[in-house]
Amino acid sequence: MALPELSLSLQFARFDGVARHRAALPRHRVARCIRHALALPGELAVRIVDADEGRRLNREFRGKDYATNVLTFDYAASPVVMADLVLCAPVVAREAKELRVTLAAHYAHLLVHGTLHAQGWDHETGEADAQAMEARETAILAGLGIADPYRGR
């Protein structure tokens, strides 16, 4: 099965330690994660930010005054998925360490997670939706050779 086409913009803010995050996110790996999660062609921008920018965006757009791991700004789901994914590097790094997974594996999970959000998947609308989204993420990640991020939770 052919994967959907993807137009990708990958951006890194300037922050201490950005080189580690660039190394974990080569463009081809980011594109592969997103394309495996897309049901239709996509135009996505992925931006890796520091805690200040992550917190500001979460506060302005979600009313939550803390930096979160991934924010999805979805603009269209059909006929082309159009979205911005903003990942907060310090949060992702902390979570990867706590979960005892590689930084690259955790980024892969969050890229898939954010891409599913861009297509209307939502884990905050009820237990059945959360289970369906987790199952979809797990299947996509397995296809990418990444272990189930929900195992043991």
Mean pLDDT per 10-residue segment, the chain (153 residues): 93 97 98 98 98 98 97 96 98 97 98 97 87 96 95 73
Domain covering 6-143 assigned CATH 3.40.50.150 in the classification: no
Residue type for 34, please?
A: I
Instruction: Tell me the Ramachandran region of residue 74: left when phi exceeds 0, alpha when psi lies from -120 to 50, beta otherwise.
Output: beta
Q: What is the pTM (predicted TM-score) of this model?
A: 0.96
Per-residue pLDDT, 72: 98
| Angle at CA of residue 111, ends 70 and 115, nearest 5° | 90
